[in-house]
Chain A
């Protein structure tokens, strides 16, 4: 509150989403752009943003007038709607529209940045001049033409864009989920449903005259339940999220997310704290991918490495884990929350292997780091909105399946815990210590699940944890819940996944009752 750390001490965090903060927000049928398209070969310029090619070339010329290694205009039009159900009714909604352009000039590893919400020639040129102040060289010749580089096919095409979906279509979905939850268990005293849908349309024009357009939908439904038993109350949550349209909310998906919320809440009445200290930890398939995000993912973002401030800065090429460990960060998984067609620098978002059969093989690169290391960019340059400069970020981070089975893994643990659901995590990039918070799990005794556990923080050190991954099952799966990753004040949507994995020793924040 009030404190504004725009450079945190290398600490970055992941949390289950309370908000779709990555996309602006929006309302139904709200006109974000001018209503009369102007004649232009570059239709989105005119129809969404009300600018023409000459204005864009003029701003690019100003942006590169003192030299640049990389420069672009990032136009964004976004809208989102959130709707809340509480105490038996749709109790409130919020909608917002956001429109603007971010202008960036990069020289070496230096960045000049400005943005404007006024898409006029004067405002754009003035912002370009501000961003160009970082440079002190000779002007770069501006592009003669702006050429649209069309996407092959979108990874998250939907039939009807969210801007054309009315509240009348959304309310019955929310009410259906609420009815399922209310009927699930007589102990449930409060049902809260939080809905969000959003779309972001981005148009990136770079200093070479290349133009990329991407349209990114997103939706999420969050179910929060409070149950009462003998005067005691317990609350828990579940959510589903994807780059999808309203068809995502099939009866099957609604039933699944509600059942997850019910199961996770009701088990808390039986759950206790495990003992405190070091012990084997089994990570259940799916959401336990939070381990990868914190223990290795952030440390592999190339900005931390080119600055030498990541614990992984000198480890490329080293064997860091058993040969059955392969970890990937992938933007290509269709309709996943972390999927991207192009990153926010306009580069194709691909599949990047971070750990190949135990060996550390690649960082996640943006334009600045790819020039620094003289490698191909990995399409990992992302930003929260036009108000922010991009930096290397994760997309969908997961571990591939291994040679063991879930049953073998649990049977191999004499005394430890199984981690199933999570709320949030955080990492120190340089020191390497990371944490994640287990909301639900199980005690393992003599190779069997014996009692439910709750509310324990897990803490470890990234490279040490990788070395201690001693078994990997064949049941790799992506989590269906929506995750939001925070880094240096910017939030972006990500996905995580993992098979069942055994880490032979981690520090568990349990409790040893005073004897």
Chain B
């Protein structure tokens, strides 16, 4: 299969060049995925599929465009590439657009990142269904309305090559398991909770029993939820919810956002504007990590990138194109695994020291402005009083400015959520504006 994909990418380069492209980056991919869903003990959905495609980036006479097709029959594919070159030629000349410097392809990590698990490839349908039944068996409750549990796995292989010397491939597996449980509350409300875990390998994941129990617990904690009072107070964010905040904070830390003057970081690069305790590293080299990789989307060899150091933004995500626009050397176009350097205590210990505040367990909607850092987010969670997690709350917002919020970061936990490419522990903030009743 790898040989076939490699040949397809090489052939695409050859054909595009024959049609007049100056430079080409081509990727041929194949992926397979399987999903099983069980609702209330009955198989609700079985889905199994294999997908493939070809993507090319073309540099033609100083112009640039990207293309993708899933129609790989020889004749349509040949026509597709010919037409792609012709369409690119009809665009405008862009002096900033060049294929990456081949020097950046060099120095690819040689460690085995273990992104493929043979045990995932060996899974059969009976096992997946049995695991679903085990997940379902944990979801019993006197208020149960419905429980939907599921198991899914995937396997992908991508081979890439470029006309200026890049060549590489990566193969990944993934497995996810979890469930969503809905309970009957007072009145018409039917609160739901869920718990999902996953990774590149089966080994190390919690058992189906544990995951099923956690899904049910997540739902039972939502019973009787109401609004808490509007106040400015302490906010503790559960590790399952902290990734959203880090995503909003670092989304505008890119050369693209700088170039288009749409980043609140432009005037703050290198300045200690956040709490000094905040350290964030982009680490593509975590063994078995969900965001781990040997090279990025442009083919640039992967390396660790300190992003926030001592509360200051130290590095940007810089790709070749926007790097030229803002005159910065390329780092990588986007995050791999974003790792927040852990502290020393877990969620429970941090909550125990809080007199009054709210614990956020999930977000609902909301947004932030990348140019100004103003944000407002819907939240669900619990009130905290005297070091204890109290009544569930919902239908509340938090509002403020991201720079100000992270300047008031009071503590970082030691408990990052492991089933994500964001490795972010519990975060505690002082003086956050909540709106509720």
Contacts and interface: CB of A to CB of B under 8 A. Distances in A.
A and B pair up? yes
Interface of A: 1-11, 13, 25, 27-35, 83, 86-87, 89-100, 109-117, 127, 130-131, 133-134, 166-168, 171, 189-190, 192, 224, 226, 228, 233-235, 273, 276-278, 307-315, 387, 389, 423-437, 454-461, 463, 507-512, 514
Interface in B351-365: 362, 364-365
B87 interface: yes
6 contacts: A3-B196, A7-B37, A308-B146, A430-B145, A434-B364, A457-B397
Contact of A34 (B75, B86, B178, B377): B75
B162 to A, nearest CB: 17
B194 interface: yes
B189 to A, nearest CB: 5
Contact of A100 (B70, B145, B198, B396): B70
Given A168-B90, A226-B371, A435-B365, A110 B192 contact: no
B39 A307 contact: yes
A348 to B, nearest CB: 26
Nearest to A277: B230
A27 B68 CA distance: 9
Nearest to B81: A30
B30 to A, nearest CB: 10
A167 B260 CA distance: 25
B167 interface: no
Contacts of A511: 399-400, 433
Interface string B43-66: 111111111110000000000111
A7 to B, nearest CB: 5
Contacts of A234: 371-372
B69 A435 contact: no
B71 A309 contact: no
Contact of A459 (B178, B260, B395): B395
Given A11-B364, A234-B371, A1 B66 contact: no
Nearest to A436: B365
B67 A96 contact: yes
A278 B45 CA distance: 42
B182 A10 contact: yes
Contact of A235 (B262, B375, B377, B431): B262
B435 A510 contact: yes
Given A92-B66, A433-B380, A10 B180 contact: yes
B297 interface: no
A143 B98 CA distance: 56
Nearest to A3: B420
A275 B318 CA distance: 38
Given A90-B91, A91-B92, A113-B45, 4 more contacts: A89-B94, A90-B92, A428-B394, A435-B364
Contacts of A454: 369, 374
B166 interface: no
A34 B262 contact: no
Contacts of B380: 428, 433
Contacts of B227: 507
Nearest to A36: B75
Contacts of B325: 87
Contacts of B259: 87
B152 interface: yes
B371 A308 contact: no
Interface in B228-258: 230, 232, 243, 247
B42 interface: yes
Contact of B436 (A98, A112, A127, A277): A277
Interface string B182-199: 100100111111101010
Contact of A117 (B52, B176, B372): B52
A124 to B, nearest CB: 13
A98 B68 CA distance: 8
B435 A277 contact: yes
B87 A457 contact: no
Contacts of A278: 230, 437
Contact of B46 (A112, A115, A456, A507): A112
Contacts of B374: 273, 454-455
Given A387-B51, A459-B397, A4 B65 contact: no
Given A6-B176, A190-B261, A431-B189, A89 B35 contact: no
Contact of B365 (A192, A273, A424): A424
B378 A435 contact: yes
A92 B45 CA distance: 40
A92 B64 contact: yes
Contacts of B434: 276
A308 B145 contact: yes
A307 B378 CA distance: 26
Interface string B120-155: 000001000000000000000000011010101010
B94 A437 contact: no
Contacts of A83: 91
B381 to A, nearest CB: 12
Given A8-B180, A423-B367, A226 B261 contact: yes
Given A437-B366, A457-B377, A34 B92 contact: no
B400 A190 contact: no
Closest 6 CB pairs of A and B: A509-B397, A435-B365, A2-B290, A430-B190, A276-B435, A426-B365
A32 B76 contact: yes
A92 B420 CA distance: 32
Given A1-B291, A13-B365, A8 B194 contact: yes
Contact of B232 (A86, A133, A315, A514): A514
A95 B65 contact: yes
Contacts of B369: 235, 454-455
B192 A430 contact: yes
Contacts of B291: 1-2
A460 to B, nearest CB: 7
A166 B86 CA distance: 11
Contact of B395 (A28, A97, A273, A460): A460
B420 A86 contact: no
A190 B260 contact: yes
B87 A167 contact: yes
B148 A457 contact: no
B5 interface: no
Contact of A89 (B92, B189, B399): B92
A92 B325 CA distance: 15
A324 B306 CA distance: 58
Contacts of B72: 117
B91 A93 contact: yes
B97 A91 contact: yes
Nearest to A315: B188
Given A1-B422, A98-B70, A507-B436, A9 B192 contact: yes
B150 A7 contact: yes
B333 interface: no
B371 A1 contact: no
B188 A314 contact: yes
